[in-house]
Structure 1
Amino acid sequence: MNFSDQRLDGAEFRNCSLANAIFDDVNLSGAKFTNVNLSGLSIENANIKGLKIFGYDVEAWLKAQLAKDGCHLD
């Protein structure tokens, strides 16, 4: 199935499988994920401002880790 140029604001997905789904140029700001299987998930070229996982500020953590490696987060 292909969902292109769709608005799903406020949609709820419960007990659904999105395994191997591709999300490209998608706005997930304000979305909430609970009880999800994220194994093997890959996130690239993403705005992670305010992203929290298990209550941790992911952006701040990544910036600190990258600084240790002499890199930076764009």
Structure 2
Amino acid sequence: MSNEQPKFQSTSLSGAIFHDVNLRSSSFGDVALADAAFSNVSFKGAKFVNVDFSNVEISDANLAGMTINGILVTDLLYRQAP
């Protein structure tokens, strides 16, 4: 396996299926991922900047330590719980 860091730039990966894929240290710049599916993929330590997460669905996910605009997601979910 290569030690190179995968880089995707100015491309469309719309509809792609990522399953059991190691994306560690990958770089995505100006990439379309509409309707892409990710399963059993780690985004640990990932940073998302200037992204469109509209209509994104997240389920069965470990959200420990995840922040949105500096606010812990687990705190947001706790506040919204009935």
- Give the % identical residues: 37
Residue of structure 1 aligned with 2:53, choices 22, 27, 38? 38
**Could you say which structure has the greater relative contact order, defined with CA pairs below 8 angstroms and 6 or more residues apart?**
2
Secondary structure at the aligned position of 1:16 is classed as strand
Greater mean deviation of Cα atoms: 13-22 or 3-12: 3-12
- Size of the aligned set, in residue pairs, is 67
Residue identity opposite 2:45 in structure 1? G
RMSD: 1.5
Alignment CA distance shift 1:24-1:36 (3 Å): same
Q: Which has the higher helix share?
A: 1
Shift of 1:63: 1.6
Change in Cα spacing, 1:61 to 1:4, as seen in structure 2 (3 Å) is closer
TM-score (norm 2): 0.72
Q: Which runs of 5+ in 2 are unaligned?
A: 1-15
Secondary structure at the counterpart of residue 15 of structure 1: strand
The yes-or-no answer on 1:28 pairing with 2:43 is: yes
Code of the residue aligned with 2:50 in structure 1: it is N
Tell me the residue number matched to 2:79.
64
Closer/same/farther in 2, CA of residues 5 and 47 from structure 1, 3 Å limit:
closer
When structure 1 is superposed on structure 2, of 50-59 and 4-13 the one drifting more is 4-13
* Partner residue in 2 for 1:7: 22
Specify every segment of 5 or more residues in structure 1 that has no aligned partner in the other structure, as ranges: 70-74
Q: Normalized per residue, which structure has more strand?
A: 2
